[in-house]
Amino acid sequence: MEPEPEPEPEPAPAPEPAPLEAAGASWRPFDCVDEEVLLKIFARLAPKSLVRAGLVCREWHAQSCDDELWAALHNTVLVDRSKMHRLRKDTLFARAHYSPDVCATLGVRELKAIIAQRRLQARAAPLREKAELAALVAQSSYPPLSARHYVLPTKWKASFAHAWADTRRVLMSVDDLVEIDWTFEFHEHRQWQGDAEIHSRFYADNTYWSDFRPNPQEQGHLTWRFVAGGRLQVHHFPPFDTMRTKTGGWRLNNHIGVFTCHDRIEGCKHGPKDTAVGS
């Protein structure tokens, strides 16, 4: 009698799949990182690296647009390190293109500051509601910084991007010139008896004032205008070439001397049209 065949052993159970195999291709190691931790990591990145991190996925893009991150970059990279001209801590860049959705997130004080810098006070006078102020900012046309507008999802990212792009603009506008404190210095080879710096101001009505001729009666005929090539003509002097400084300001230069812009000059004798100092 033949012995009965031994039963075949049951197959061993399949091993538990690895986490990546279990979740499929959508599983990512950083999925287990808390949002607060991710923000702290992003806070250590430079602006370009932060933008690149936002291209990884939708979640990272949303985190990389966080207002606190870009407000901190504004205060450090733009204001503290480079000391860019006319930028203030915790103050949005008025030239930025703010979409209607972003304008709805702006506070009343922020909206009024932008309206004032865009010279829309007359149109904004009867407006009282925040929604009306936001609509005015969103609809107001302002000289674009480039051929295309960057529509960004948060106010501080939009402010930072446009402020950074503005430093590459080489064509001067009226807003860059008027109602700002300037000093003029003759080049060393020019003989000049008097103060090393001459305080000056340009006005929107194309008039010019300086303490070189403090008498208002002598100032009336001094004018300025933009000429070919974006150069600045001041009265009968040779045109000045416009150039940017490392801090985002402006310099006007010709073979006679150079104008340098300032936000505020301590002890400056302002012209008779000034009711306030600085911008």
Kindly report, residue by residue over 14-67, the tens digit of the pLDDT: 666 555 455 555 666 666 778 888 899 999 999 999 999 999 888 889 999 999
Long-range Cβ contact pairs of 254-260 (< 8 A, separation 24 or more): 255/187, 256/186, 256/187, 256/190, 257/184, 257/185, 257/186, 257/187, 257/190, 258/184, 258/185, 258/187, 259/182, 259/183, 259/184, 259/200, 260/182, 260/183, 260/185
Please, what sign has the CA dihedral across residues 254, 238, 215, 251? negative
pLDDT tens readout for residues 198-246: 888 898 889 888 877 645 555 556 889 999 888 999 988 899 999 988 8
What's the confidence (pLDDT) of residue 125? 57
pLDDT tens readout for residues 99-151: 889 999 999 999 988 888 887 765 555 667 888 889 888 888 665 555 455 67
What's the confidence (pLDDT) of residue 278? 34
What's the confidence (pLDDT) of residue 194? 53
How many other CB atoms sit within 10 Å of the CB of residue 127? 17
**Mapping DSSP to helix (H, G, I), strand (E, B) and coil, where does residue 189 land?**
coil
Q: Is the pTM of this model over 0.95?
A: no
Buried b / exposed e along 24-41 (16+ C-beta atoms within 10 A): eeeeeeeeeeeeeebeee
Buried b / exposed e along 62-90 (16+ C-beta atoms within 10 A): ebbbbeebbbebbbebbbeeeebbbbeee
Residue type for 101, please? D
* DSSP secondary structure letter of residue 199: E
Selection from 140, 160, 144 nearest residue 152 by Cα: 160
